[in-house]
Amino acid sequence: MTTWRVVCVKCPKCGAVFWIRQLMTCGYAEKDADFRPHYWGINPLDLMVHVCPNCGFAGTDSDFEEIGEVEDALVEVDAPANVKFELLARRYLEEGRYYAAGKAYHRAAWYVRSCTLSGDCQVSQLEEKYLRKAIVCFKEALKRGQVPRDEKAIIVYLVGELLRLCSEFEESIKWFEKTLAMQDEMSEDVKKWLLPLARRQKRLAEERNPSVVLINQNHRASRLREVKRGTFKRLTAPSTCLTITADELLRNIKASRQGRAKKPLVRQRPLSSWEIKEVIRYLLRMYNVTRKAKQSDSKRKTTMG
Ligand SMILES: [Zn+2]
């Protein structure tokens, strides 16, 4: 289950102090063939990237210094996770970190998929946009030797799989063949699952099938369940999900900063609707516990009397 805590952090770029929701635990049932986990409950991708409300800097937990509670702290930017991952990817590109950028774009695609997967299990236009960016970054990372040795064969496979999802079948087959030719660079453990997987996905590419499939074929029922359910639980309000671009978000942040110069923006971190529900559930539970305790108490008194 996805859990988090609320902490105050300092932006490494502008020094602004703001509240973030920091991911503590999460779990998943299975994965797609491009390793996207099917998380239980709240989608933790929402909690993995934080955007500074003052300057738009995007980073993960380790990029921000945790500090004690600050009374007039701001609140982290609340945006769909795909946009936050896109901002993170752009930052990594500026820093020349292609492997990290590829992973960030790939996660942006994962998030879109969890919101938009349809009955035919094909990726949406927005997801494809992110997948294509991830492919470019992963290729560049491989070229520049940024991918750790023990992950190289896996990333070569992943490029093939992402190309297949984008219907680039001919090129995809080449990358699957490249993976199969890398046996000597794989550990025994990796060999066991990666070779059969690459063969299976190559067959799909040969059949010109761009569908998202599970990593374990025996779990078809789970895929159907997921499609039926349509979406994962999101922390971001569904109305804003996938309707804002990274550039629009940056413009909004800039506009609110200019607004703040005249009127200081001081507000409490708001609770998400999910958190409010949790609080109500907790209070009800406590109410029932006290009521039961009182009841058994009065029963005891009656029997004693
Ligand atoms: Zn900042």
Give domain limits for the chain: 3-273
User: Quick one: pLDDT band at residue 237, thresholds 50, 70, 90?
Assistant: very low
CA distance 39 to 48: 14
Q: How far is the CA of 71 from the centre of ligand 1 (A)?
A: 18
CA distance 210 to 280: 44
Average pLDDT for the chain: 85
Q: How far is the CA of 288 from the centre of ligand 1 (A)?
A: 45
Burial class (CB in 10 A: 0-12, 13-18, 19+), 74: buried
Q: Which residues pair with 39 in a beta bridge?
A: 28
Percentage above 70 pLDDT, the chain: 82
> Is residue 274 pLDDT above 70, yes or no?
no
Q: How far is the CA of 64 from the centre of ligand 1 (A)?
A: 10
Q: Between vectors from CA 224 to CA 218 and to CA 230, what angle results, nearest 5°?
A: 140
Contacts for 136 with CB less than 8 Å, ≥ 6 apart: 102
pTM of this prediction? 0.82
What's the rounded mean pLDDT across residues 102-121?
88
Q: How far is the CA of 63 from the centre of ligand 1 (A)?
A: 11
Q: How far is the CA of 80 from the centre of ligand 1 (A)?
A: 19
Q: 73-107 pLDDT, tens per residue?
A: 888 888 889 999 999 999 999 999 999 999 999 99
pLDDT at 261: 42
pLDDT at 1: 78
> Is residue 226 pLDDT above 90, yes or no?
no
What's the rounded mean pLDDT across residues 173-201?
96
CA distance 24 to 2: 7
User: Quick one: pLDDT band at residue 64, thresholds 50, 70, 90?
Assistant: very high
> Is residue 301 pLDDT above 80, yes or no?
no
Helices (H), the chain: 81-94, 98-116, 125-143, 152-165, 169-180, 188-206, 220-229, 246-262, 273-304
pLDDT at 266: 36
pLDDT at 245: 87
What's the rounded mean pLDDT across residues 184-209?
96
The Cα-based distances of 198 to 17, 30, 98, 114, 272 in angstroms read 46, 18, 24, 24, 41
pLDDT at 219: 59
Find out whether 176 and 202 touch, Cβ atoms under 8 Å: yes
Q: How far is the CA of 5 from the centre of ligand 1 (A)?
A: 21
Q: 129-146 pLDDT, tens per residue?
A: 999 999 999 999 999 999
pLDDT at 30: 85
CA distance 144 to 40: 36
Lowest mean pLDDT among 99-103, 238-242, 252-256: 238-242
Helix 125-143 vs helix 98-116: crossing angle, to nearest 10: 160
Backbone CA torsion sign across 46, 48, 49, 52: positive
Q: Between vectors from CA 155 to CA 190 and to CA 168, what angle results, nearest 5°?
A: 120
Q: How far is the CA of 16 from the centre of ligand 1 (A)?
A: 5
User: Which position has the higher pLDDT, 293 or 204?
Assistant: 204
pLDDT at 189: 94
Find out whether 162 and 123 touch, Cβ atoms under 8 Å: no
User: Quick one: pLDDT band at residue 38, thresholds 50, 70, 90?
Assistant: confident
Percentage above 90 pLDDT, the chain: 52
Q: How far is the CA of 52 from the centre of ligand 1 (A)?
A: 5
Helix 81-94 vs helix 98-116: crossing angle, to nearest 10: 170
User: Which position has the higher pLDDT, 257 or 50?
Assistant: 50
